[in-house]
Amino acid sequence: MKVLCFGVGQAGGNVLDALLRYEQRTNADYVVDAVAYNTASTDLRGLDLVPEENRILFGADEVSGHGVGADNELAAELAERDSQQLLRGTDGSPTSTADAFLIFAGLGGGTGSGAAPVLAKHLQRIYEQPIYGVGILPAADEGALYSRNAARSLKTFVDVTDHVFAFDNGAWAHTGEDVAAAHDSMNEELVRRLGILFASGEVSESGTVGESVVDSSEIINTLRGGGISTIGYAASELPESDDDGGFSIKGLLGGGSSSVDELDSINRITTQTRKAVLGRLTLPCDVDSASRGLVVVSGPPEWLNRKAIERSRTWVEEQTASMEVRGGDYPLPESDHVGVLVLLGDVSRSDRVAEVRSTAVEAERDRRDREANDAGADSEDDSEAVVDDRLDT
């Protein structure tokens, strides 16, 4: 699936840069162009692979390139005011070749949190393609202000995009580890999943033996209807090829020229599917609250056993209680792994989102109490309005 990518704010730009690096490293080609936006000029300068001419500073009249701190309302205002300038980011991009647009942002900070939904809204007015957000949730120990920003921004982001891929910094930082120090490794985990998903939708049927390769319409259909999604991934290293006379059950039984044992391949694929879903998801959630799913099995074509892929798909269907789980393969002739990626779309219950939401409500209540105290009046309690009411958490 070809994607046109936008990174907004520091996290947005960093993750976009990491995706470009991953694309380069894997010799893939699914990013048609990459544009980064910020109110802080130093953050734009720190980027590596986003082309210089595609780094756009906005709000400079008001904040002179110094950023907005954690003030996401100011960022939204500046983005709205400079919306024409934001849209000029696609000048010169081959927009019609993109199957989808992707906007990356950290939802707890200022610039990305406030401006990413504004950018989505304006792109939505102009382009036909689906617009997906990649929203990064702050870890709980990053403070109540970040949670408050994230709860608000997530709600708006879900409303103005066709789907939001969520990534939870809280779930991916190891205990005791500083979240900022873990950004690079978290970005790697996120872009590997996104990279595999987009690259899988790019394989053409011709020239591969994959019998049911995933195509971009299957990804788009899995995300149709909107909401928040989560992605799981697990991989198993393959034994060295035993073409030189090594041990193979199939060989012993006189089976064909390939040294791949069918039972081994079925076991590996079904086990990795369970690990992908029951292991760490980009956003921890109740798996049975997902509305749709997509299972992508990657690896050398001789390992992509159809029966196993179908079995894995059915297993995910059972886990999610959804009748809409798609499955397909992604042949990688040179790979030494079998990997399984599971995309769960429109999840409605996530403890982490609930936690962000309740911290946000508390922070909002405190803020209003303080304001009312200062003014000597009773506070009006509509603090729940800050949070996402789409999820029944």
Which residues are at the interface with ligand GDP (CB under 6 A)?
9-11, 14-15, 43, 106, 108-113, 136, 138, 142, 146, 169, 179, 183, 186-187
17 close to 7: Cβ distance less than 8 angstroms:
yes
For 246, phi then psi, to 5°, come to -70, -175
- Residue 171 CA to residue 191 CA, distance in Å, equals 16
Question: Least distance in Å: CB of 162 to ligand GDP?
Answer: 22
Minimum distance of ligand GDP from residue 115's CB (angstroms): 8
Would you state the structure tokens that stand for residue 391, as one six-digit string?
Answer: 């999820």
11 vs 220, beta carbon nearer ligand GDP = 11
Q: How far is the CB of 129 from ligand GDP (least distance, A)?
A: 24
Q: How far apart are CA 144 and CA 362, in angstroms?
A: 8
Task: Give CA separation, 220 vs 45, 198, 274, 287, 347, in Å.
Answer: 34, 11, 24, 20, 16
CB of 255 to ligand GDP, least distance (A): 46
- Helix/strand/coil for 296: strand
Gap between the Cα atoms of 300 and 238, Å rounded: 10
DSSP E strands in the chain: the ranges are 3-8, 31-38, 55-57, 100-106, 131-137, 163-168, 228-237, 292-299, 325-331, 337-345
Pick the closer one to ligand GDP by CB: 186 or 203: 186
Smallest distance, ligand GDP to C-beta of residue 71, A:
9
Nearer to ligand GDP, 10 or 319 (CB): 10
> In Å, how far are 179, 202, 212, 301, 331 from 206, measured between CA atoms?
44, 12, 12, 13, 11
Burial of 49 (0-12, 13-18, 19+ CB in 10 A): middle
CB nearer ligand GDP, residue 15 or residue 220: 15
Minimum CB separation of residue 352 from ligand GDP in Å reads: 13
Question: In whole angstroms, what is the distance from residue 266 CA to residue 143 CA?
Answer: 45
CB of 231 or CB of 325, closer to ligand GDP: 231
Which is nearer to ligand GDP, 195 or 300 (by Cβ)? Answer: 195
The CB-of-62 to ligand GDP minimum distance in angstroms stands at 15
CA distance 271 to 282: 19
Query: Which of 72, 305 has the CB closer to ligand GDP?
Result: 72
Alpha-carbon torsion (92, 95, 98, 100), positive or negative: positive
Shortest separation between residue 350's beta carbon and ligand GDP, angstroms: 17
Minimum CB distance to ligand GDP smaller for 283 or for 297: 283
